[in-house]
Amino acid sequence: MFRSRRSPLGLARATPGAPFDITLDGRPVPAFDGQSVAAALWADGVLSWRTTRGSGKPRGAFCAIGSCYDCLATINSRPNQRACLVPARPGDAVTTQKGHGRADLAV
């Protein structure tokens, strides 16, 4: 089997900056400048960060371009944020979103 020694970073001649941490449910997750919250979670091995309203099934990124709503997360206390579109910032607090993300509403 042929394996390339090239990487996307090498091909783009990109040098990432120093990592910083965001948190998922209080656990540190490393992220880089320019990375979306979803990309940082994926890179750390996290595939799901919300559950559906009706059946409680796990969801994470599906399209990764903002067309669907599978990647919804509560970010910095704001529910229903599309994690694939939100840039990761140092200190961001992501919490697993359950259902519609509005536990404070009697829906």
Residue 76: both structure tokens together: 């910095």
**So what's the pLDDT on residue 105?**
47
Judged against a pLDDT cut of 80, whether residue 50 lies above it is answered with: yes
**So what's the pLDDT on residue 64?**
81
Residue 98: both structure tokens together: 């359950």
Instruction: Tell me the CA distances in angstroms from 79 to 7, 16, 85, 105, 107, one per residue in order.
Output: 35, 29, 14, 12, 14
Mean pLDDT for 46-65 is: 84
Where in the chain are the domains?
Answer: 26-98
Share of the chain above pLDDT 90, in %: 49
Each residue of 59-92: pLDDT tens digit?
A: 888 888 888 888 899 999 999 999 999 999 999 9
CATH match of 26-98 with 3.10.450.50: no
